[in-house]
């Protein structure tokens, strides 16, 4: 998700990192903003990054809301709608693209489905809904705060609502930054920018309308009937233990034929996939530092010619493709080209690490 520039008072990292939480302003609703049950909050916000990120994650999981969004990328604008309902211990999500061919992601608790036109694919039973993924990202980001310089500014307004802004500037220049506008009353993210190392916004996701405690029921999240059931060609393992380094236990959990030998500091293996058809041929590893997601696709090649690296950008996402030795590696993520190249060239068979540790 991603961004826009805003004229506001910048409060530097020294405020955020104070030993005791600092109060910036009191939470008093504006005259045109009506407080609802989900908007009840304390009279002040604790301005340390961990508290802010935790509040955002809890709001996304436990509130009921309808978000209308625009997604700006690659010179185009997509319209999206995100509905979330938490009712009697059950969680429901629906993320819809409102343009072109019907595309929806629907989640009922731990089960997640993808709808493409009239096709239905069961993606996962591992609690991989969009809102859960966001919450996991925020928890990991809180753990990896030291990888970013964090700046706060505000108040501002997004979608007519009072908000504050968190700016994440990477310390190492190996990954892209981000700017998040957060609704002051509810704690929900209202806008997210992806920012390159030159300070340019390369991708933006912005809320244009937010309704809290809307008139929703579980029936609004029903899977449509008479859909064409399609096979999911991947097997997911999306709740891998967080580990600082690759070891035998991780290799066994991952069940991938490949592993990555080098990553920027802070990235951890969070998910793995393999094709049902040929696990030894095609693997997909996903790494995350809480702000940036990296996908590494590895395909076994036979009698292949080396391929010069190919690069393509889609919004703030780099796609880096290279074939060398006995494999083809594609790195996808918001990182620089030298970083993607170093990651791709560090991919080795998982058996090499297992052998080295014996």
What is the distance between the alpha carbons of residues 178 and 163, in angstroms, rounded to a whole number? 16
Q: How far apart, in Å, are the Cα atoms of 284 and each of 238, 246, 280?
A: 11, 16, 11
User: Tens digits of per-residue pLDDT, 16-36?
Assistant: 223 333 333 333 334 444 444
Q: Between 49-62 and 130-143, two packed helices, what is the crossing angle to 10 degrees?
A: 170
Average pLDDT over all residues of the chain:
76
Per-residue tokens: 346: 């560090």
335 pLDDT above the threshold of 50: yes
Residue 189: per-residue pLDDT: 94
Are 356 and 245 in contact, with CB atoms under 8 Å apart? no
What is the distance between the alpha carbons of residues 211 and 188, in angstroms, rounded to a whole number? 11
295 pLDDT above the threshold of 50: yes
Q: Please, what is the Cα angle at 159 between 156 and 163, to 5 degrees?
A: 30
Alpha carbon 251 to chain centroid, angstroms:
24
Are 277 and 233 in contact, with CB atoms under 8 Å apart? yes
Residue 232: per-residue pLDDT: 61
Domains of the chain: residue spans and CATH: 10-220 (2.50.20.10), 233-357 (3.30.200.100)
As a whole number, mean pLDDT of residues 325-350 equals 92
92 pLDDT above the threshold of 90: yes
As a whole number, mean pLDDT of residues 90-109 equals 91
Residue 356: per-residue pLDDT: 41
Q: Any bridge partners for residue 348, and if so which?
A: 259
Residue 275: per-residue pLDDT: 63
Burial of 340 (0-12, 13-18, 19+ CB in 10 A): buried
Residue 284: per-residue pLDDT: 86
42 pLDDT above the threshold of 60: no
Residue 352: per-residue pLDDT: 58
- Alpha-carbon torsion angle 280, 282, 286, 287, nearest 10: 70
Residue 155: asked if its preceding bond is cis (omega within 30°), the reply is yes
4 pLDDT above the threshold of 90: no
What is the distance between the alpha carbons of residues 133 and 298, in angstroms, rounded to a whole number? 23
Residue 9: per-residue pLDDT: 22
User: Tens digits of per-residue pLDDT, 110-125?
Assistant: 888 989 999 998 887 7
Residue 30: per-residue pLDDT: 40
Q: Please, what is the Cα angle at 21 between 268 and 136, to 5 degrees?
A: 25
Among 132-136, 240-244, 337-341, top mean pLDDT goes to 337-341
How confident is residue 331, by pLDDT bands cut at 50, 70 and 90?
very high
């Amino acid at each position: 998700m991603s961004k826009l520039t805003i004229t506001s008072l910048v409060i530097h990292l020294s405020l955020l990192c104070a030993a005791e939480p600092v109060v910036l302003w009191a939470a008093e609703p504006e005259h045109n903003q009506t407080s609802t049950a989900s908007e009840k909050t304390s009279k002040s916000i604790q301005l340390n990054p961990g508290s802010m990120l935790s509040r955002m994650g809890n709001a996304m999981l436990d509130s009921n809301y309808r978000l209308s969004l625009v997604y700006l990328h690659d010179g185009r604008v997509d319209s999206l709608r995100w509905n979330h309902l938490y009712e009697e211990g059950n969680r429901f999500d629906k993320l819809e693209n409102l343009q072109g061919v019907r595309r929806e992601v629907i989640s009922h608790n731990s089960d997640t489905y993808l709808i493409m036109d009239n096709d239905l694919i069961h993606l996962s039973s591992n609690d991989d809904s969009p809102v859960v993924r966001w919450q996991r990202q925020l928890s990991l980001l809180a753990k990896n705060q030291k990888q970013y310089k964090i700046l706060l500014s505000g108040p501002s307004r997004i979608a007519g609502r009072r908000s504050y802004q968190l700016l994440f500037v990477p310390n190492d220049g190996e990954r892209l930054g981000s700017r998040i506008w957060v609704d002051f009353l509810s704690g929900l993210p209202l806008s997210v920018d992806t920012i390159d190392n030159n300070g340019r916004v390369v991708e933006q996701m912005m809320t244009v309308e937010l309704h809290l405690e809307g008139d929703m029921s579980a029936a609004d999240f029903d899977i449509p009937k008479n859909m064409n059931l399609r096979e999911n060609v991947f097997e997911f393992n999306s709740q891998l233990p967080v580990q600082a380094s690759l070891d035998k236990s991780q290799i066994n959990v991952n069940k991938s034929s490949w592993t990555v030998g080098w990553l920027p500091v802070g990235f951890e293996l969070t998910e793995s996939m393999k094709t049902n058809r040929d696990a030894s041929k095609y693997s997909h590893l996903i790494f995350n530092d809480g702000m940036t997601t990296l996908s590494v696709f590895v395909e076994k090649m036979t009698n292949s010619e080396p391929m010069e690296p190919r690069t393509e950008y889609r919004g703030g996402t780099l796609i880096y493709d290279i074939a060398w030795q006995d494999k083809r590696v594609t790195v996808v993520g918001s990182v620089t080209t030298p970083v993607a190249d170093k990651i791709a060239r560090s991919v080795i068979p998982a058996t090499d690490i297992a052998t080295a540790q014996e």
